[in-house]
Amino acid sequence: MLTVENYIDSMKANLEKHSNLLVANLKSIMAFNYSPEIDLLDYTAFIEPTNFEISIELFSMDKEANEVFNDGHDTTIFAGSVNVISDVTYYQLKEQSLDDFFERFYEENDQAIYELEQQTFTDWFSQCWEEAGGFSVNYPTYFVFHDDDKSFDLKNKKWVEDEAKWS
C-alpha cells in the first residue's frame, strides 16, 4: 500500500541516484567567471509531476529581479542562464497505476505531499550544493520552484519571501 512516507522515501532514493551528477555539474558552474553585474544567483526547479521529473536551471539576476545577460563580447564571463540538471526522475510508477495515484492517493494527500515534496527537493539540492562548495560563491544564492513566491536562501538555510531577496 502506498503511503505518504514511502512515497517520499522513494523520492529521496531516486534523487540520491543523481547526486553525483548534480554535484559535478554544480562544481563546474561554481568555477565560472561571473559577470560583475550579477547581484544574486537563482537555481530554479521546474517540476513535471505527470512524468515525475525535475529539471534545474541557474539564472543570474540583478537586484531589480531581471536576468543579467552577457553582451557577447567577452566569452570568458558568465551571465544569463545555464542548465544544471535535466529530467531527473524522482518517482517511478507503472503507467497503469497513474490514474489511481493521481485520483486517489495524491488527491487525498495533496497538501501534505506538496510540502514534503518541496522540502525533499530542497534538502537534496541544498546538500549537493554544499558538497559542491556552494558557500565559496560570493553571491546570495537561492533555490526556488518555478512560479513560486518564496525561495530557499542556501547560505542562510531559510525560506524567504521573494520580495526580500530583491531588497
* CA-wise closest residue to 19 among 58, 60, 54: 54
Confidence (pTM) = 0.93
* CA-wise closest residue to 138 among 36, 14, 16, 70: 36
pLDDT at 167: 77
Residue 1 pLDDT greater than 80, yes or no: no
How far is Cα 106 from Cα 91, in angstroms, rounded to an integer?
A: 13
Compute and round to an integer the Cα radius of gyration of the chain. 17
* CA-wise closest residue to 39 among 57, 61, 67, 69: 61
Taking only the tens place, the pLDDT of each residue in 33-92 is: 999 999 999 999 999 988 899 999 999 999 999 999 987 777 888 989 999 999 999 998
pLDDT at 47: 95
